[in-house]
Amino acid sequence: MTAREQRRARVLTRVLVGELTMAEGGVELGLSERQLWRLRAAFSDAGPAGLVHGNRGRASPQRIHPDRRIRIIELRERYGALNDTHFGELLAEREGIMVSRESLHAILRGAGIASPRRRRPPRYRSRRPRMGAAGTLLQLDGSRHRWLEKRGPELVLVGAIDDATGWVTAALFRDQEDAAGYLEILRTTIDDHGLPGAIYRDGHSAFAPSNPSRTGRDGADPLSQVGRALAELGIDSILAGSPQAKGRVERMWGTFQDRLVVELRLAGVSDRVAANAFLAGYLARHNARFSVPALDPVAAWRPLPDDIRLDRVLVLEVPPQGCQGPHHLARRSDPAAAPRCNRYGELCRQAGRGPRRPRRLDRGLRRRAPTCRPLGPARSGSAAHPEEAARPAESQPGGRYDPLDTTPRSSLEAGHPWQQAREATDRIARQLS
């Protein structure tokens, strides 16, 4: 008997011997007189045992069968480390076992299986409200993680999430966080939804040049490959001041690292191609589980104008073969097309070659601005550039540059940036001497 039941037995005994009235006994026990009459009848018939609840010691008819408990524990060990909520969803989808999260928590903790990640109590934060309509703001980011664990290489997952609804518009596994991945994310988003009003991004060099002191040929701020595409599509690019500012996409990475890793493990994915093929089905289930309706039912996605071709915008611009000048660039998607002038002065890497090495200072100072020169000496079987062949041997690029040698080697007009750079180098050299 519990302490409360023992106290009731003592009070009822005093009532039966006449020491207390029924009203006084009810006040002492905190019960109504009618309730005390019911307990008195049970106490008179069965003694102290009549005060014990009849279901005590009996199994609940809603209990989980012991064989099912054992099955759940075996599946948890086979699935590996994952949280209880995700485990319950997988049991319903894959095994047809319907069980609540509270029951799973009791079964797993009773078997000594702890949660893979400690859950901290939520703290109050002043969060920015969501945008009103879908398509107003798109958050872009990349996350490097061991998505394939030890079965494959470390990959970068590049993705975009709508700020108003939390809908993941596109995601893609890449070896590196690069411009090509973000351009593919934009292409998928525009094909499926339309043009967003703006993107919210971090300071990665894929969105803006890493050297902000550089300027384009027309004196304007330089643009990267993604920045050029955004400018041509009329999409604003907003730089986030901190990771917390774009917390929606950062929390999405936490959910992916908690759930997607397990899903890839259960699917047996071990390479990037298979991981990208798996993403399509996973994103549909993820959006159905975590997206929310927008406050404004009218979406803000814009249709693509008829005069804009994504095949000519969402591509990497690279110099033609044998040209190192930033003023004539061709589209990789249409190499047969005529070279297109790059107004932004930004170069990108060529396919499979990695980033370009920086040019020597003496080569840059001796090259004419409007002339497109070859990268170096002519290859075997190819003709040399006429101006390179006519240049004297001692002035060919590749020799050691002497900063004290003030012999003019450039025909650049006065005030040209390259000429100013050479004059500044000469002045510093004279001061040091």
Same domain, 72 and 151: no
* Residue 251 domain-assigned (yes or no): yes
- Using the 3D structure, point to which of 236, 262, 290 is the last residue of a domain: 290
Say if residues 206 and 225 touch (Cβ distance below 8 Å): yes
Q: Tens digit of pLDDT for each residue in 370-407? A: 434 444 444 444 444 444 444 444 444 444 444 444 45
102 and 161 within one domain: no
CA distance 84 to 104: 7
* pLDDT of 353 above 80: no
Q: DSSP secondary-structure letter at 394? A: G
Distances (CA, A) of 416 to 65, 326, 419, 420: 84, 16, 5, 6
Both 285 and 233 in one domain: the answer is: yes
The residue that leads in pLDDT, 99 or 427, is 99
Q: Are residues 76 and 43 in the same domain?
A: no
Name the pLDDT band for 367 (thresholds 50, 70, 90).
very low
Q: What is the DSSP letter of 219?
A: S
Summarize the confidence of residues 104-108 as an average pLDDT: 84
Same structural domain for residues 144 and 278?
yes
Overall domain count for the chain: 3
User: Rounded to whole angstroms, how far apart are CA atoms 114 and 111?
Assistant: 9
Is 119 within the bounds of a domain? no
How far apart are the C-alpha atoms of 248 and 124, rounded to whole Å?
16
* Any domain includes 351: no
Return d(Cα 159, Cα 338) in angstroms, integer: 33
Whether 170 and 337 have beta carbons less than 8 Å apart is answered as no
Same domain for 74 and 185:
no
Shared-domain flag, residues 149 and 278:
yes
Which structural domain range is residue 82 located in?
67-110
Q: Are strands 198-201 and 317-318 parallel, antiparallel or unpaired?
A: unpaired
DSSP H or E run through 170 = strand 168-174
Whether the per-residue pLDDT at 418 is higher than 90: the answer is no
User: What pLDDT does 122 receive?
Assistant: 64
Q: Give the per-residue pLDDT at 284.
A: 93
Residues 95 and 177 in one domain: no
Q: What is the pLDDT of residues 45-87, one digit of tens each?
A: 888 888 888 778 777 777 888 888 888 888 888 887 788 888 8
Rounded Cα distance between 64 and 57, Å, is 16
Instruction: Identify the pLDDT of residue 395.
Output: 42
Mean pLDDT of the chain: 76
Same domain? 38 vs 76: no
CATH of the domain at 145: 3.30.420.10
pLDDT of residue 93: 82
Say whether both 225 and 185 belong to one domain. Answer: yes
Cα 407–chain centre separation: 54
Round the CA-based radius of gyration of the chain to a whole number and report it: 36
Assess whether 90 and 190 both reside in one domain. no
Q: Would 354 be classed as within a structural domain?
A: no
- Based on the fold, state whether residues 18 and 77 are members of the same structural domain: no
Query: What does the pLDDT look like over 110-152, one tens digit per residue?
Result: 888 877 776 666 666 677 889 999 999 999 999 999 999 989 9
